[in-house]
């Protein structure tokens, strides 16, 4: 790996925290970072990416694209420069592509290589190799790709790409930005118009960025409605400049920490507030959180950016419908922490997708909260949390199963627990939030190495 400077112990322990305060710039957005590298690689000419997230997942994307023949350098000012190879410009890699822990890397890059006449084999770490890939295999095969998986539609799998892909109309049964991106990137190499439909709009960073790079793409990104995207193939993309704002998914750990640790007041700068990512803020506000959005559109970027101010407040439970999940799919682990500390019952509905994330987050939330002394149940795909009104017992060890968001969520809960919470598998945090420990301790949390 290229990143060694942000070391973290695999075992951390989180103690009761004093009030949190200060100002932080949460890490750059992981989804936008992946897309900026990938779409720049497919463009003609040079692109410059400012504030790229230098986490393990994103550095795996850099390595993967280099193996496909793309030149990527970081200049002296810290700007990443990508020398795009054009739509059908990838070269066949000598080695297999290791996607590490990243589902976004695997699924989006599988789509992007499909329209190139090369053969590429993808693999990942233990967690990624257990995650379902048929969700991208099905539409890409309909377009004419040949994909062979020796592991029951999981990684490792081999893509035999072709420049003769066909346009399709594909109605995805679930809302998934990874699947949408995979199909849209494959569609760039198709002669004709591809139509992609999903039940509710998933994050639309790909559509926004493709448009900026000159793709012929039509989308409306309607709120709480069926989403339809059209893209015309064979249109060259042109290199561009991108600024990556801070990641609201990563910011959510500090936002919720400040909402539950009495007396806290925190400011988070330059956060991407794309509507299709901000479900967590709406949910927290319904729970009574004191959150304000200031300095909207402070930077020149096609993505909306703002500062977020958050003050401690007494939270109450909520009933969150399943359609909300497409706007906050990654935030359920940390939202479940807020719900545990709140008063009253919280019902989180329709969480089937959580079972196939970096770990089985559905089970991880239930088992983890129970071992911290919280009363939790489930019914079908719903999780029911009985809020402990701030009285969390803690004094337990959580195995994160190398899932970064599970690890960070339980470290946040340690900040309000009577007894400290230990977490195993914290090196996973480097996949998305390399300076988590240092940033959370800088605002007042007390998280220590427990090796």
Catalog residues that contact ligand S3P under the rule CB under 6 A: 31, 104, 176-178, 181, 202-203, 329-330
CB 34, min distance to ligand S3P, A: 6
User: What six digits make up the tokens of 155?
Assistant: 């990684």
CA angle 230, 232, 233 (to 5 degrees): 135
Catalytic residue among 57, 204, 247, 330: 330
Of residues 383 and 421, the one with the C-beta less far from ligand S3P: 383
**Annotated catalytic, 57?**
no
Which CB sits closer to ligand S3P, 199 or 395? 199
Task: Name which of 181 and 439 has its Cβ closer to ligand S3P.
Answer: 181
User: Which CB atom, from 176 or from 340, has the smaller least distance to ligand S3P?
Assistant: 176
Q: Least distance (Å) from ligand S3P to the CB of residue 295? A: 25
How far is the C-alpha of 61 from the C-alpha of 106, rounded, in Å?
A: 9
Pair 358, 380: CB distance under 8 Å: no
Q: Shortest Cβ distance from residue 54 to ligand S3P (Å)?
A: 17
As a whole number of angstroms, the distance between CA 122 and CA 97 comes to 5
Residue written as tokens 């497409």? 326
**Secondary structure of 175-242 as H, E, C letters:** CCHHHHHHHHHHHCCCCCEEEEEECCCCCCHHHHHHHHCCCEEEECCCCCCCEEEEEECCCCCECCEE
Q: Give the span between the Cα atoms of 434 and 451, in whole angstroms.
A: 18
Tell the smallest beta-carbon distance from residue 244 to ligand S3P (Å): 13
Q: Which of 294, 386, 406, 306 is nearest to 341 (CA)?
A: 386
- Report whether 227 contacts 200 (CB < 8 A): yes
- Distance CA(261)–CA(414), nearest Å, equals 10
Output the smallest distance, CB 211 to ligand S3P, in A: 17
Please say which residue, 41 or 104, places its beta carbon nearer to ligand S3P: 104
| Cα–Cα dist 373/442, whole Å | 28
426 is written with which tokens?
Answer: 């914290």
Q: Report the distance separating Cα 123 and Cα 404, nearest Å.
A: 20
Spatial neighbors of 138 by CB under 8 A, at least 6 apart, are none
221 vs 371 by CB, closer to ligand S3P: 221
CB of 424 to ligand S3P, least distance (A): 22
Angle at which helices 361-371 and 332-341 cross, to 10°:
30
**Integer Cα distance of 245 and 32 in angstroms:** 8
Residue whose beta carbon is closest to ligand S3P: 31
List Cβ neighbours of 223 (8 Å cut-off, separation of 6 or more): 201, 275
- Tell the smallest beta-carbon distance from residue 28 to ligand S3P (Å): 13
Q: Which is nearer to ligand S3P, 105 or 421 (CB)?
A: 105
Q: Which is nearer to ligand S3P, 307 or 330 (CB)?
A: 330
CA-based end-to-end distance of the chain: 22
| Ordered alpha helix ranges (H), 377-446 | 404-414, 436-442
Q: How far is the CB of 176 from ligand S3P (least distance, A)?
A: 4
Active-site residues, by number, are 330
């Amino acid at each position: 790996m290229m990143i060694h400077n942000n070391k973290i112990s695999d075992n951390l322990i989180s103690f009761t925290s004093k009030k949190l305060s200060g100002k932080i710039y949460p890490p750059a957005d992981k989804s936008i970072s992946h897309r900026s590298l990938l779409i720049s690689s497919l463009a003609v000419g040079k692109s410059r990416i400012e504030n790229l997230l230098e986490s393990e997942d994103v550095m795996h994307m850099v390595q993967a694209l280099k193996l496909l023949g793309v030149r990527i350098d970081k200049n002296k000012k810290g700007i990443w420069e990508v020398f795009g190879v054009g739509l059908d410009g990838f070269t066949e890699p000598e080695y297999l592509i290791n996607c590490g822990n990243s589902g976004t890397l695997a699924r989006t890059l599988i789509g992007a290589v499909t329209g190139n006449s090369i053969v590429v084999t993808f693999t990942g770490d233990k967690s990624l190799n257990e995650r379902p890939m048929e969700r991208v295999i099905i539409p890409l095969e309909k377009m004419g790709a040949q994909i062979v998986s020796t592991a029951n539609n999981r990684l490792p799998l081999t893509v035999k790409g072709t420049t003769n892909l066909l346009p399709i109309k594909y109605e995805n049964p679930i809302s998934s930005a990874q699947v949408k991106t995979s199909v849209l990137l494959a569609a760039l190499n198709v002669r004709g118009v591809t139509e992609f439909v999903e039940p509710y709009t998933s994050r639309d960073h790909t559509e926004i960025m493709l448009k900026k790079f000159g793709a012929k793409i039509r989308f409306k990104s309607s709120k709480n409605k069926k989403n339809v995207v059209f893209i015309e193939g064979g249109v060259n993309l042109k290199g561009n400049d991108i600024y990556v704002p801070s990641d609201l998914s990563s910011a959510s750990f500090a936002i919720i920490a400040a909402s539950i640790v009495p007396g806290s007041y925190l400011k988070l700068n330059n956060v991407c507030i794309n509507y299709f990512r901000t479900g967590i803020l709406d949910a927290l506000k319904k729970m009574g959180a004191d959150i304000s959005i200031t300095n909207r559109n402070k930077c020149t970027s096609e993505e909306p950016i703002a500062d977020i101010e958050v003050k401690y407040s007494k939270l109450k439970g909520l009933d969150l419908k399943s359609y909300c999940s497409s706007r906050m799919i990654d935030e359920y682990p940390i939202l479940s922490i807020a719900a545990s500390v709140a008063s009253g019952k919280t019902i989180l509905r329709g969480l089937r997708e959580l079972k196939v994330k970096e770990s089985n987050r559905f089970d991880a939330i239930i088992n983890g909260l129970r071992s911290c002394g919280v009363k939790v149940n489930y019914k079908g795909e719903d999780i029911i949390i009985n809020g402990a009104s701030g009285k969390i017992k803690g004094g337990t060890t959580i195995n994160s199963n190398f899932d970064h968001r599970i690890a960070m969520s339980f470290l946040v809960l340690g900040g309000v627990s009577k007894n400290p919470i230990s977490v195993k598998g914290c090196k996973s945090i480097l996949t998305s939030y390399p300076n988590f420990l240092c940033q959370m301790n800088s605002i007042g949390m007390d998280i220590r190495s427990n090796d």
